[in-house]
Amino acid sequence: MCDTPKTVEDQQPANRRVFLKSAGVAAIGAALGPRLAMAEVPKPENVISTDAGLKRLMEGNERYASGKSGAHNFSAAREALVSGQNPFAAILSCADSRISPEYAFDSSNGDLFVVRVAGNFVSEEGLASLEFAAEYLGTRLFMVLGHDSCGAVNGAISAIHDGAVLPGHIPSLVEAIGPAVGLAEEKSGNLLENAIRENVRMNAATLRASSPILSKLAASDELKVVGGVYNLKTGRVELID
């Protein structure tokens, strides 16, 4: 379970891989149409560089953590976004109910493209969603957002170390997070904290290397992928390598 992680594509059944590469997907892409022209961009303030986007995220997080979040006019935002969307950042976040990226970064409608799954790991569907953001919405800043005391990571540790038997489909989370636990075991310090960080790093690396869309953008420095860990007590996000 802690072997070198396979690519998302390698983990899928062969017949599904064939389907995803079939003409049907090409037809879906054609139906989605080209990216919005600049004149049609619903939120011009979201057309910013990746560095400016990261600065905006972290400034929003500081306002949130300090209890100084802004007042957002959601009615006006809804009207502006009827024609489309151009989020300046995409967040791969844990599904934990205590974390809401939109709140944590003091953002409004149309600012963030959020994909959530317990354990904030890259699944095939999550990858496809993020590729959609990059290819059709022009999003160029991605963040993998973990958090302290993550139950999904802790569950993976329990299953691996204690032989805990998890019900239903929950073992699939262990399979996805297990490689990060293996990397954390090689480090000194708290195993859970280290595994949470390794899980963020591993999945950020997975996104950068995911072909054909994200790896090409990353190689040309068009795509910036960062990792962060949310502190439940303070509300602050710590950027990690």
Question: In this structure, what token pair is assigned to residue 168?
Answer: 């239903």
Residue 7 lies in a domain: no
Query: How much is the pLDDT for 23?
Result: 34
The whole-model pTM stands at 0.85
CB-CB contact of 105 with 131 (8 Å): no
Residue 170 lies in a domain: yes
Residue 6 lies in a domain: no
DSSP secondary structure letter of residue 232? T
Q: Which domain holds residue 105?
A: 49-240
Instruction: Give average pLDDT by consecutive 10-residue segment, the chain, 241 residues.
Output: 45 40 38 51 96 98 97 87 96 98 97 98 98 98 98 96 93 97 96 98 98 98 98 98 84
Domain count within the chain: 1
Q: What is the pLDDT of residues 82-139, one digit of tens each?
A: 999 999 999 999 999 999 999 999 999 999 999 999 999 999 999 999 999 999 999 9
Residue 11 lies in a domain: no
How many CA within 13 A on the CB side of residue 46? 28
DSSP secondary structure letter of residue 221? T
CB-CB contact of 153 with 101 (8 Å): no
Residue 12 lies in a domain: no
Query: How much is the pLDDT for 29?
Result: 42
CA distance 127 to 230: 22
Can you give the CATH number for the domain in which 149 is found? 3.40.1050.10
